[in-house]
């Protein structure tokens, strides 16, 4: 496997695609591309994490870079540490993927995901390292390998300081930690803020991360909330950079609804800079219509919380996110942060003195949406597939302003994502089936 950056870092099957040898070379390449100095490393709870982090750290140190190990910590916690110390950071994680996968995310010294041009420089350096029998070591200096156990406390302090009301007293919540990186941190945060908390998905064994739990499998959360009579439920993913919530009745609250709630709250306080939020092309058209109704503009950007943050930085906006639950509070974080989002949601519920069900019901009206992932033989030809785009244009004309079509290449696999919003579920599903067939015909099905 030649490691290549996708939508959110580098990913592959651990020990077959993402091997220790590759991570060693990647560490060398990153040290050469980023220059001398110090870096931070951390990981989630996957069995392959210690192996791959050790190889990555060895490659960095072999090039003279000092490496500080933060241990198991949510991705946004590692990004926070990077910004606090003004040094780059590496996260060994595959986010919401199954445990057999793993990956590497890279943050710069501001706590932001590195730009595409830096990824390209790293890939070029990696090709050079892999293309030689013996790396050109140059300076024989070896970087130091150290640990810092206080990163958890620093991150917990940061999250607790974000609560505007000061506490979450009286609120009962169920938190699903996805058997991942938030297993220790999330309960500490909510306990310190005074919430009554029940935790599920908090017994990681290296193989159960995201397995039937977390933001991609909220069924256990819904059942726990209903059984316990909790006020709401909060489901994180394996590296805790996204959140999906549910109300007391078990109704899901996704990233679009969360954006609508936070935008309305900030707008009412006069704190929504530019009266604008940022959302990706996959956000439901209902979000835009809800924002129009309260005088808020929605700026659309490509998928990925890095793209969200770039658009926010460019416009000076404070709120953005994705339907998947990546929410970025630009004045408080440098990337999507699931625990921060959970804390902010609970704080909003407490201040509003209303149940989440009532708040979510009035936030937005969702258009029926259908989607599909089409594995293809030649995803690189998507932009030039004229017959496909002609069919897309026909569907868009039929929907007019009553719906929306998104066809895009996947950032993580050889596939094309198709999404359609329409006045009815039946119309949306029919259009997705029609366009999926057009994609397979144009690019070859795999």
Give the β-pairing of 196-200 and 243-247: unpaired
Question: What spatial distance separates the first Cα and last Cα of the chain, rounded to whole Å?
Answer: 19
**Are 90 and 54 contacting, i.e. CB atoms less than 8 angstroms apart?**
no
| CA–CA distances in Å: residue 260 to residues 57, 231, 345, 366, 402 | 41, 20, 12, 11, 20
Q: Residue 168: count other Cβ atoms within 10 Å of its Cβ.
A: 25
Q: Which of 48, 57, 93, 95 is catalytic?
A: 95
Length of the chain: 446
**Are 193 and 343 contacting, i.e. CB atoms less than 8 angstroms apart?**
yes
Where do we find the tokens 């595959």?
Answer: 94
Cα angle for residues 145, 148, 152 (degrees, 5° grid): 145
**Are 431 and 419 contacting, i.e. CB atoms less than 8 angstroms apart?**
no
Buried b (16+ CB within 10 A) or exposed e, 62-96: bbbbbbbbbbbbbbbbbbbbbbebebbbbbbbbbb
Long-range CB contacts (< 8 A, 24+ apart) of 325-328? 325/215, 325/237, 325/242, 325/243, 325/244, 325/254, 325/255, 325/258, 326/241, 326/242, 326/255, 327/242, 327/243, 327/255, 327/258, 327/259, 327/262, 328/278
- The token pair that represents 98 in the structure block: 């199954």
Q: Residue 360: count other Cβ atoms within 10 Å of its Cβ.
A: 22
324 annotated active-site: no
Cα angle for residues 366, 163, 194 (degrees, 5° grid): 105
The rounded distance, in Å, linking the Cα atoms of 150 and 278 is 33
- The token pair that represents 353 in the structure block: 């003195």
Query: Measuring CA to CA, which residue among 86, 107, 89 is closest to residue 8?
Result: 107
Helix, coil or strand: residue 384: helix
Please list the active-site residues.
95
């Amino acid at each position: 496997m030649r490691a290549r950056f996708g939508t959110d870092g580098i990913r592959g099957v651990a020990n077959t695609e993402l091997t220790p040898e590759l991570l060693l070379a990647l560490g060398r390449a990153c040290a050469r591309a980023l220059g001398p100095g110090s870096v931070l490393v951390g990981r989630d709870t996957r069995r392959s994490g210690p192996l791959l982090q050790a190889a990555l750290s060895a490659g960095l140190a072999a090039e003279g870079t000092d490496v500080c190990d933060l241990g198991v910590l949510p991705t946004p916690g590692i990004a926070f540490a990077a910004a606090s110390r003004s040094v780059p950071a590496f996260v060994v994680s595959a986010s919401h993927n199954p445990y057999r996968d793993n990956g590497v995310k890279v943050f710069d010294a501001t706590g932001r995901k590195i730009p595409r041009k830096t990824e390209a420089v790293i890939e070029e350096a990696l090709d050079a390292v892999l293309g030689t029998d013996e790396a050109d070591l140059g300076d024989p200096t070896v970087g130091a390998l150290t640990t810092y156990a206080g990163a958890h406390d620093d991150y917990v302090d940061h999250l607790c300081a974000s609560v505007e009301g000061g506490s979450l007293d009286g609120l009962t919540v169920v938190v699903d930690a996805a058997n991942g990186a938030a297993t220790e941190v999330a309960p500490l945060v909510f306990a310190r803020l005074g919430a009554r908390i029940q935790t599920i998905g908090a017994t990681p064994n290296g193989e159960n991360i995201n397995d039937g739990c977390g933001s991609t499998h909220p069924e256990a959360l819904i059942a726990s909330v209903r059984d316990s009579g909790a006020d709401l439920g909060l489901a994180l993913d394996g590296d805790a950079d996204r959140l999906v919530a549910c109300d007391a009745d078990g109704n899901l609250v996704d990233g679009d609804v969360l954006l609508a709630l936070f935008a309305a709250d900030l707008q009412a306080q006069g704190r929504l800079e530019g009266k604008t939020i940022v959302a990706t092309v996959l956000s439901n058209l209902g979000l835009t219509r809800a924002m129009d109704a309260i005088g808020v503009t929605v700026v659309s950007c490509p998928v990925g919380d890095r793209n969200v943050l770039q658009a926010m930085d460019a416009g000076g906006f404070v709120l953005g996110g994705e339907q998947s639950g990546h929410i970025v509070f630009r004045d408080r974080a440098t990337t999507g942060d699931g625990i921060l989002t959970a804390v902010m949601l609970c704080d909003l519920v407490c201040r509003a003195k209303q149940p989440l069900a009532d708040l979510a019901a009035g936030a937005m009206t969702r258009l029926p949406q259908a989607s599909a992932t089409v594995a293809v033989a030649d995803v690189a030809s998507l932009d030039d597939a004229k017959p496909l785009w002609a069919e897309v244009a026909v569907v868009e004309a039929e929907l007019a302003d009553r719906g929306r079509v998104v066809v895009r290449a996947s950032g993580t696999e050889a596939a094309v994502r198709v999404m359609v919003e329409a006045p009815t579920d039946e119309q949306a599903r029919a259009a997705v089936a029609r366009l999926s067939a057009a994609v397979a015909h144009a690019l070859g099905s795999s």
